[in-house]
Amino acid sequence: MTILTSPWTALAVTAVLAWIVKTYVSQVRRKARLPPGPTPRPIIGNVLDMPQTHFGREFAEMSKKHGDVIHLDLLGQSMIVLGSLQSASDLMEKRSNNYSSRPSSVMVDLCGFGWLTVLKNYGTDWRHHRRTFHKYFNPEALPHYQPIQLKVIRELLRNILGRPADLSVPLKLSFGATVMRIAYGLNIDDADNEYYKMVERIGEIGGEIAKPGRFPVEAMPVLRFLPSWFPGAGFKRFAAEAKREMTFTINRLFDAAKAAMDRGEAKDSMVVHFFDDGDAHDELHYAEAMMKELTLTTYAAGADTTNASVAAFFLAMALHPEVQMKAQQELDGVVGTNRLPEFSDRPSLPYIDALVKELLRWHVVLPLGVPHRVIDDDEYRGYLIPGGATIAVNVWSISRDPAVYPDPERFDPERFLKNGRLHLEGRDPANFAFGFGRRVCPGRLFGEASLFILCASVLSAFSIGAPLDKDGSPVVLTYSDIANEMVTRPEVHNYTIQPRSPQAERLVLESC
């Protein structure tokens, strides 16, 4: 009897076949337990089902058909999209220990962006970052930043009074200057500033990396092993240059802040507190490296998103003069016309606070938030949530839930007011606009405070109207809600912005 016909060979073949069948059946059963979603195609899965023009709206349409927990197969990688606040809360909040990591990204790694706190995987290093970040942005720390915020906002008012041809430049510069001053103690005076140009460039690179489909290597990671000269490997040359710029920027800004301290010119900032508080004395190299990452994260995460909300504010005021008028009536009654608003006025300005809440809801800066990654297999509503899956929350869809926000496309601050007081009760847009669970933005309170003082200051001093055409007639504006990028911002128009009175103009000129 030959080996090929021996009982042992037959037994081995049978065992292998049994293992193959068992594995196949197991995979079939596993796939059957996944949440519903569009039918995947062979090999590419649901790649062609991914939204092309508006992440929020197109995923919301999928949810109407498949439910608020959707599964997509993207070249073998699972993606779960949560379309309701309930599902997001159940998983991201109540099971945050398993849902607090981040998806892997080839381009993030190649470009050297993995140090950003917001992109770090859940673990010891991230927890250290988080604790340190909280130290600088907890509620007790925020009043220390108010003089800086007021100074920069009032400089913005003067720039607006000068009626720049492009309002977007002073808006971006304003919040860039605020965060740069708080993080590093460095001043930004104009758009030609060296520091401003560097961080703007880092933001541009981040925007490119975040564009779905921009780099094929994200879908086919094996491409990362191509040599940079190979046709189609342009992403490697892009990444090499991006990493060089990132390394230069993170070191240049931190070194500039330290040099200002050495010259005795340091201003109150995160870097100053870091050295003054003795945080740098233990494990100096690690501590400084972490602080470099935290300060640039503060700028990258704060300036861009707040600027997008401010752009939405100007558009909303031009589109809704009745809202603008109510806000100004409240300001006149509380602040008067002989001074500009202060942070201390906030408890007495509930309409302005409600206006900020409506801004967060009406224009969602991050339509899908920042994606999470589930660490281990989980079960939810009888469905399998596979370990390693990317988890995205359709924040845009949550903000448009008509059961919570009637007539959701309407800009209406009064939906957050009751008997003249701020009234949220489970409807606070900040509960979804700033992320979920352990990955919620630690700068949330700072961001809301920044929006409050800007809205109050601008409306106290100016009236905002639609742009005028060449014949002097108001241009008909619309809210263009196209959102196919990670961070979305409406177009900044050449609005008609006038001082509300000669007294208001004088206050703006004297405020700096």
- Domains by residue range for the chain, with CATH: 36-511 (1.10.630.10)
pLDDT of 1 > 60? The answer is: no
What is the pLDDT at residue 430?
Answer: 94
- Highest mean pLDDT of the ranges 239-253, 265-279, 467-481: 239-253
Enumerate the β-bridge partners of residue 82: 69, 393
Q: How far apart are CA 410 and CA 477, in angstroms?
A: 14
Proportion of the chain above pLDDT 70, given as a percent:
90
Q: How far apart are CA 188 and CA 181, in angstroms?
A: 8
- Name the phi and psi angles at 429, rounded to 5: -60, -25
For residue range 379-418, list pLDDT tens digits in order.
999 999 999 999 999 999 999 999 999 999 999 999 999 9
What is the pLDDT at residue 469?
Answer: 87
Q: Binding residue per annotation — 111? A: no
Using an 8 Å Cβ cutoff, are 368 and 56 in contact?
yes
What is the pLDDT at residue 14?
Answer: 64
Using an 8 Å Cβ cutoff, are 101 and 372 in contact?
yes
For residue range 7-42, list pLDDT tens digits in order.
766 666 666 665 566 454 445 556 778 999 999 999
Enumerate the β-bridge partners of residue 70: 81
C-alpha distances in Å from residue 484, one per residue of 41, 56, 211: 23, 8, 8
Residue listed under structure tokens 């995987």: 121
C-alpha distances in Å from residue 248, one per residue of 52, 285, 286, 378, 484: 35, 17, 18, 42, 30
Q: Tell me the average pLDDT across 353-372.
A: 94
Q: Largest Cα–Cα distance of the chain, in whole Å?
A: 109
Number of H helices, E strands in the chain: 17, 10
Q: How far apart are CA 467 and CA 462, in angstroms?
A: 15
- What is residue 462's DSSP assignment? E
C-alpha distances in Å from residue 63, one per residue of 83, 221, 351, 365: 6, 29, 34, 21
